Amino acid sequence: MNPIIIIPTYNEKNNVEKMIKKLFNEVFKNNLINVLIVDSNSPDGTSQTVEELCREYTNLHLLKQTEKKGLASAYIDGFKWALEKGYDVLVQMDCDFQHPPEILPDCIEKTKEYDLIIASRYVGSGKWGEENEHQRSMISELGNNYAKWVLNCRINDMTGGFNIWTKKALELIDLNKIMAKGYLFQIEMKYYAYKNNLKILEYPFVFGKRENGESKINIKIIIEAMTMIWKIRFANRQNINKN
Ligand SMILES: Nc1nc2c(ncn2[C@@H]2O[C@H](COP(=O)(O)OP(=O)(O)OP(=O)(O)O)[C@@H](O)[C@H]2O)c(=O)[nH]1
Ligand SMILES: [Mg+2]
């Protein structure tokens, strides 16, 4: 197994160093992990911080995008980079500590049995941590159920961004045909995984509160996603039924 953790960053200078150190010094002490930061030319200098850390950690990599083109583009570039380099387990994770990296060793192990592991707030002991605003979790839960309903998909956490993909799963989905530009990427990818009958496990986790910096999500992004989801439902069938 050759896993890599892919973390997209936009203005995460105050989280990125802490996250990298946590991964290499605490969660994966044995050096068997690689980390790729995909930065969209953050004006706060996130990429310079990562460049400095690359000298200290040989398994740390930086992919610089010249401009901010959205979350989907950051992940697609990151996935392509990692697949080309021969990684076979690709972790998607945010930089703001809402996704607890401690569960990763177990999730990665589970890819021996499953094609996709979805860290989920909506199965078993999974939930929104109490420190989050109630309104925020309600809106997110509504959006999640809406996505499930429109796409007729039985995955419980459609919107979350903490997922562990196997090479097999990613090679079934044509990344060049992904329509989403932003956060809808998470939903679109899971929809194709589900429709392609991949073996999926939802792994419960507690979704924390952002540690530093600002959220990049806003009402415009949410409305855009709610509309675009219908496009995914009806327009793009090329990514389905390949197996
Ligand atoms: N490279 C890149 N990263 C991005 C972009 N937009 C967001 N991100 C990163 O994607 C991750 C998720 O973004 P957040 O703003 O935390 O979104 P969220 O977790 O859905 O929202 P909050 O709960 O409010 O934090 C973070 O690591 C961001 O820095 C982008 O356009 N490019
Ligand atoms: Mg966040």
Q: Closest residue (by CA) to atom 13 of ligand 1?
A: 216
Beta bridge partners of 200: 116
- The identity of residue 189, as a single letter, is M
pLDDT in tens, 99-135: 999 999 999 999 999 999 999 999 999 999 988 888 8
Residue scoring higher pLDDT (225 or 85): 85
Query: Is 241 domain-assigned?
Result: no
3-state SS, residue 115: coil
Backbone φ and ψ of 4, nearest 5°? -140, 140
pLDDT in tens, 169-204: 999 999 999 988 888 999 999 999 999 999 999 999
Cα of 242 from ligand 1 centre, angstroms: 31
pLDDT in tens, 51-69: 999 999 999 999 999 999 9
Q: Closest residue (by CA) to atom 5 of ligand 1?
A: 71
pLDDT range class, residue 216, cuts 50, 70, 90: confident
Burial class (CB in 10 A: 0-12, 13-18, 19+), 109: middle
Query: Is 242 domain-assigned?
Result: no
pLDDT in tens, 13-59: 999 999 999 999 999 987 689 999 999 999 999 999 999 999 999 99
> What's residue 243's pLDDT?
46
Query: Is 205 domain-assigned?
Result: yes
Find the domain containing 68 and state its range. 3-235
Domain count, the chain: 1
Query: Is 211 domain-assigned?
Result: yes
Backbone φ and ψ of 210, nearest 5°? -50, 135
> What's residue 103's pLDDT?
97
Cβ neighbours for 177, distance < 8 A, ≥ 6 positions apart: 236, 238, 239
Maximum Cα interatomic distance, the chain, rounded to a whole number of Å: 48
pLDDT range class, residue 225, cuts 50, 70, 90: confident
> What's residue 237's pLDDT?
59
User: Tokens 């999974």, residue?
Assistant: 126
Query: Is 171 domain-assigned?
Result: yes
Averaged pLDDT for residues 69-85:
96
> What's residue 205's pLDDT?
98
Look at residues 151, 193, 198 and name the one whose alpha carbon lies nearest to residue 173.
Answer: 193
Rounded to whole angstroms, the Cα distance separating 92 from 99 reads: 10
Rounded to whole angstroms, the Cα distance separating 198 from 108 reads: 16
Ligand 1 mutation pick, 5, 6, 10, 81, max ligand atoms within 8 A of CB = 10
DSSP code at position 154:
-
The finding on whether 10 has its CB within 6 A of some atom of ligand 1 is yes
Query: Is 215 domain-assigned?
Result: yes
Q: Closest residue (by CA) to atom 6 of ligand 1?
A: 71
Written as one string, the DSSP assignment of 174-194 is: -GGG----STHHHHHHHHHHH
Query: Is 44 domain-assigned?
Result: yes
Residue 231 belongs to a domain with what CATH number? 3.90.550.10
Count of CA atoms in the C-beta half-sphere (13 A) of 158: 25
Query: Is 173 domain-assigned?
Result: yes
The finding on whether 143 has its CB within 6 A of some atom of ligand 1 is no
Ligand 1 mutation pick, 15, 38, 67, 96, max ligand atoms within 8 A of CB = 96
Cβ neighbours for 191, distance < 8 A, ≥ 6 positions apart: 151, 153, 158, 232
Q: Closest residue (by CA) to atom 22 of ligand 1?
A: 215
